Amino acid sequence: MLDQLPILQVIIPLLAAPLCLFLRKPRLVWMFTLIASAACFMISVLLLQQVASQGDILYSIGGWAGPLGIEYHIDELSAFVLLIITAMSTIVLFAANTSIQKEIPENRQVFFYILYLLSLAGMLGIVATGDAFNVFVFLEISSLSAYAMIALGKDRRALWAAFQYLVMGTIGATFILIGIGLMYEMTGTLNMADLAERLPEVADTRTIFAAFAFFIVGVCLKLALFPLHMWLPNAYAFAPSMVTAFLAATATKVAVYLLIRFTYSIFGISFSFTTLPLQEIFVALGLVGIFAASITAIYQTNVKHMLAYSSVAQVGYMIVGYSIGTTVGLMATLLHLFNHALMKGALFVALGAVMYRVGGVQLSSLNGLGRQMPYTMAGIVAGGLSLIGVPLTVGFVSKWYLVQAALETGWWPVAVLVLLGSLLAVIYIWRIVEAAYFKEPAEGATPVKEAPLTFLIPIWILVGANIYFGIDTRFSVDAARAASQSLFGISL
Amino acid sequence: MIMGLYNYWIVVILMMIGFYIVIAQGNLIKKIVGLNIFQTSVFILYISISKVDGGTAPILADGISKYSNPLPHVLILTAIVVGLATTALGLALAVRIKEAYGTIEEENIQMKDDEEC
């Protein structure tokens, strides 16, 4: 049983999805989905323990050993990302049932859970697999279900956002497919470990440069790196609240994982950063992304839009850490992966609660909510503080390591810019605080009650995690350090 | 150079045609058509890769020892299915957009969205 964990991780949500159709009743389906997701979470915890004690896990599908057969490969990095995804998906699901009752018509609720599970299966597959073509297939499973989930949004603009995301996402995925095809052409293998071995021999050819370029651009589209982020704000803003919470906490993380996996363990850091000028490009794009997206966020009137732009800025931080190209830099990126999932998860679930009670997430509809929904708004404030990077929250931890990594390499202007970027976050978070605590509710607006417990529990679990991992950093820092060291030490 | 690699040239030309249509056309159906051409070019790329000089179709038969590489064919079978799913979803969204907005022209949709804001 324990040997089968890597595949069970992917199979459980994949099989659970069609089974939902038989259960029919949304409430039953919700419980079933929650159990499936919780099972994945348990498995990822076990996997992390196994990897920590015994090293990498290799699993050959159907008993066909790699490199000919398809292999699943779990190392410190993938175990860490698997844990983030399954944990976030389970916590978000907890609130899902209440939230979608108001946001999705009853006859479509079951489909929401099916798409959710498929998307989860896709993401877990991307992270677990050790086969390059498998990555593409799982990527499309998770993306296609994400497009459909976004289109479930109540507003008609959700349809248009989903269509735009579909076009951009398909271009990105096809670019990745071209990249993988060209790699296969030159090496004759799709197994990641095998690719890593054979690529250096042919690294100096134009085909491999083209493969690398296609792949990187494709992944950057998926991870919404500035200036390829255009699909993200509308998709996040108009999707049902729980879809936003789920995608914001997981989808871009998976793309960052792919970027790290291919550049660090397959192409190798010297090819990615020395032969090609990826480092300079990424630092520049990351920093521009932080500023452009944060400044745009300040001017938004829809809070979901605001936080979506903030997500683009946070991806910028991850990319800056990644392109510093040292163990500490990569560690900062991985930490931010974890931390950003916690804070954006908390914020978007809390916004879901606001949506549930108030029916809108315009900045003006937050007016006076500080007194009417004290626990939810306190959750938003705590999440916001973490987003800014206030000490004693997780946001501080990752920025601390990021600045440290930049200073170590002597890139002090980068460190200064990262800190300045955080100040911009203060402005947009302040706009939420101002509306919630210092403005009176609009006249004639019916007073609303505090959000139900199904929201408050996940919000406060996430807020608690934001604070807990901000103080006791042992787990997250150790896991991120182990992952980043293994990427630098032994390649896959 | 040009003749020897002519299928790759076709791939590039098709790819650019498809890509251009996706970006330049405002009609959602045309966008999906462009996306299809774009994806099809990648299918041809994979099939071209699998060709072995002098090899025949990868079907076991007497007297034949040289086969083309069947793996890319299989990969592309999967990619075609993915392309199909994407097209179906894209068209379904286009239908819903037509119902909600009354148009499938990008400009008009954008205009109606801007009015709402």
In sequence order, what DSSP letters do the residues of A441-476 get, joined into one string?
A: PPTTPPP-PPPPHHHHHHHHHHHHHHHHHHH--HHH
Amino acid A170: pLDDT: 93
Name the band, by pLDDT with cuts 50, 70 and 90, for residue A159: very high
pLDDT in tens, A58-67: 888 888 887 7
pLDDT in tens, A17-52: 899 888 888 888 999 999 999 999 999 999 988 888
> A362 forms bridges with which residues in the sheet?
A302
* Whether A460 contacts A375, CB under 8 Å: yes
Residue A491 has pLDDT above 50, yes or no: no
Whether residue B86 and residue A144 make contact (CB cut-off 8 A), yes or no, is yes
* Whether A52 contacts A482, CB under 8 Å: yes
Rounded to an integer, what distance in angstroms lies between the CA atom of residue A106 and that of residue A4?
A: 37
Residue A1 has pLDDT above 70, yes or no: no
Q: From the CA of B88, how many Å to the nearest CA of chain A? A: 10
Q: Which residue has the tokens 């025949």?
A: B56
Other CB atoms within 10 Å distance of the CB of residue A11:
15
Residue A69 has pLDDT above 90, yes or no: no
**Cα-Cα-Cα-Cα dihedral of A281, A282, A283, A288, to 10°?**
90
Rounded to an integer, what distance in angstroms lies between the CA atom of residue A475 and that of residue A459?
A: 21
Q: Which residues of B touch A181 (CB under 8 A)?
A: 42, 45-46, 49, 72
Q: Which residues of A touch B89 (CB under 8 A)?
A: 144, 147-148, 166
Whether residue A151 and residue B96 make contact (CB cut-off 8 A), yes or no, is yes
* Whether A394 contacts A469, CB under 8 Å: yes
The region of weakest confidence among A233-237, A298-302, A444-448, B68-72 is A444-448
| Mean per-residue pLDDT of chain A | 88
Mean of pLDDT values over A314-333: 88
Dihedral sign computed on CA atoms, order A65, A68, A70, A75: positive
Other CB atoms within 10 Å distance of the CB of residue A64:
10
Instruction: State pTM to two decimals.
Output: 0.92
Nearest to A384 by CA among A430, A336, A316: A430
Amino acid B117: pLDDT: 60
Amino acid A437: pLDDT: 86
In terms of DSSP H, where are the helices of A299-359?
303-324, 327-358
CATH of domain B6-52+66-116: 1.10.287.3510
Between residues B3 and A280, which one has the greater pLDDT?
A: A280
Residue A187 has pLDDT above 80, yes or no: yes
Instruction: List CB contacts of A167: < 8 A, sequence separation 6 or more.
Output: B22, B31, B35, B90
| Mean per-residue pLDDT of chain B | 88
Peptide bond into A227 cis (omega under 30): yes
A420, two tokens? 């300045």
Whether residue B35 and residue A171 make contact (CB cut-off 8 A), yes or no, is yes
Mean of pLDDT values over A262-280: 82
Nearest to A9 by CA among A31, A42, A53: A42
The DSSP symbol for A119 reads H
